[in-house]
Chain A
Amino acid sequence: MKVTICIGSSCHIKGSRQVVEGLQYLIRKHNIGDKVELGGTFCMGKCQQGVCVTVDDKFCSVSPETLDEFFNENILKQVE
């Protein structure tokens, strides 16, 4: 599974660093590092909905507050 997080300016200000760090932590915690590949990109063209994240081809709007929920629904459930 490829998870791409937007690290462009707009998403950065909305907390993409916290999202990146949070995801890195959660992936380690659940020991699924071999199944999830994290990547960054500068801008997905949907700045209003940032922090923009794609899980494979699926677009998700994430914030540091909704990160746990996003991770459980879109990453953990899918790889298990």
Chain B
Amino acid sequence: MRKFDTKVQHLKYKVLKEVARLAWNDTLLENLMDIPQMIIPGKTPTMRCCVYKERAIVAERVKLAMGGNKDNPNVIEVIEIACDECPMGGYEVTNACRGCLAHRCEDACKFGAIYFDQNHVAHIDKTKCRECGACSRVCPYSAIISLRRPCENACKIKAIHMSEAKTAAIDNKKCIACGACVYQCPFGAIMDKSYILDAIDIIKKSDNNRKYKVYAVVAPSISSQFTYAKLGQVITGLKELGFYTVIEAALGADMVAYSESRELVEKGFLISSCCPAFVSYVEKNFPGLAPSISHNLSPMATIAKYLKEREKNCKVIFIGPCTAKKAEVQKESVRPYVDVVLTFEELQALFDSKDIDITTLPEDVLDNASYYGRIFARSGGLTDAIAEGLKEHGFTDFKLKSSVCDGIEQCKVALMKKSKNMSDANFIEGMACVGGCIGGAGCLTHGEKDKAEVDKYGREAFEKTISDAISVLI
């Protein structure tokens, strides 16, 4: 049974699991230094040059599992000693070049950067190359490769650069905490800080939910996760972990869709506020458009606010696919409502830290939201929900022209057009991750089938309309 996509995720999981296991037993502090040796036993290295380096890196991962560097406000951090300092020479011609006659690379290059030696082998003049990749695409031998670092390639906002020590460095002023680099770094050198210890502490101190109730609010993208078990078993597992009950963040999405569709009609133009990384991107790069960001809190914060307003001392832990949510809860407007944000990766570690095998558990139910709330998990779902919200409000005269963008590159294009008055869209749905939340960096698996799973899960909802789903919220 394969729970994760990559071995990097698996290593991160092993560390999280061990830290959590010790924390449940109140033995973390005395055993902290032993964790690297427990995870990397023996003398034969399996990942790096030697076991000592492997252990040193695991020790850094332990720190991140315990909340990371408190002096660094960013929830995404580079583990410097784990960074392999990948070469970053841009496009290079490899020895697969056969010095052919066609020289398609030369024709494809608009900048005259390709030249040939006496053996007709191509070379790239770095002073002329603009890194467009045209030569690479036309070479019949695939002889031209890009030596861009995977982290820099993943970071579409260009927040990652090389430090003086040649390791990756994150510019916190630019970073939107989307986590793309976290998932893409093949050495696992960039990680999201974990707040599992806060979650464990909250659960333990609740005295089995007698002192206060601990609510788990789960993102709708859970439908594409834990595919080795049934969703109902995940819900039972959450309760076994010590949560009082589980609520769909999608119900918050229903609330947002209902309120945001009204806000759209009032204001005439709106930018979605659901995705914290997208909101951060707009604020940092298109400040002129920031006033048009919807004033609605995100679905997570909306349902958490509802819970906290009705039960003052309860605790709310959000579990989702998102690293940017960890940054969102640091905002003044959200902090009072959500106590901890966990990812699905971390939830898997928590299950296993308590030896909870969810596949053996009976199925519980999870059903609070409508179809529309649930499809927020995929790109385009929010727009469908806004259209439905307009319909349910009776705003039949208002014509929704939505620009649906997933991935920062698409978001950038849509925002650029809007800022230059070149777009007639009256709504911009922006999701920082490709595919929407189901492509989030904190997912266990990043499968192709995810989108269909979200719609299927949406159709299984007991409530079919947004109004019906939110009518129970009295």
Most buried by B among A7, A16, A24: A7
| Contact in complex: B245, A8 (CB < 8 Å) | yes
SS class, residues of chain B in contact with chain A: loop
Per-position binary interface string of chain B over residues 366-383, scored 1 when its CB falls under 8 Å from any chain A CB and 0 otherwise: 111000000000000000
CA distance A20 to B474 in the complex (A): 8
Neighbouring A residues of B235 by C-beta, 8 Å: 9
Question: Is A39 at the interface (CB under 8 A from chain B)?
Answer: yes
| Contact in complex: B365, A7 (CB < 8 Å) | no
| Contact in complex: A40, B472 (CB < 8 Å) | yes
CA distance A5 to B229 in the complex (A): 31
Neighbouring A residues of B471 by C-beta, 8 Å: 17, 20-21
Most buried by A among B244, B245, B310, B364: B245
Question: Is B462 at the interface (CB under 8 A from chain A)?
Answer: yes
Q: Specify which of A9, A21, A42 is in contact with B365 (CB 8 Å cutoff).
A: A9
Neighbouring A residues of B244 by C-beta, 8 Å: 43
Most buried by B among A24, A41, A42: A42
Question: Is B307 at the interface (CB under 8 A from chain A)?
Answer: yes
B contact residues, total (Cβ < 8 Å): 22
Question: Is B247 at the interface (CB under 8 A from chain A)?
Answer: yes
Given contacts A39-B310, A39-B474, contact A12 B462 (CB under 8 A): yes
CA distance A41 to B244 in the complex (A): 12
Question: Is A76 at the interface (CB under 8 A from chain B)?
Answer: no
What is the distance, in angstroms, from A15's C-beta to the closest C-beta of chain B? 10
| Contact in complex: B474, A43 (CB < 8 Å) | no
Question: Is B463 at the interface (CB under 8 A from chain A)?
Answer: yes
Given contacts A9-B368, A12-B462, A20-B474, contact A42 B247 (CB under 8 A): yes
| Contact in complex: A38, B472 (CB < 8 Å) | no
What is the distance, in angstroms, from B319's C-beta to the closest C-beta of chain A? 15
CA distance A42 to B144 in the complex (A): 58
| Contact in complex: A7, B473 (CB < 8 Å) | yes
Neighbouring B residues of A24 by C-beta, 8 Å: 474
Question: Is A1 at the interface (CB under 8 A from chain B)?
Answer: no
Question: Is B387 at the interface (CB under 8 A from chain A)?
Answer: no
Question: Is B5 at the interface (CB under 8 A from chain A)?
Answer: no
Chain B residues at the A interface, C-beta cutoff of 8 Å: 215, 235, 244-248, 307, 310-311, 364-368, 462-463, 468, 471-474
Chain A residues at the B interface, C-beta cutoff of 8 Å: 5, 7-10, 12-13, 16-17, 20-21, 24, 38-43
A-B contact pairs, 5 of them (CB 8 A): A9-B235, A9-B367, A17-B463, A24-B474, A42-B307
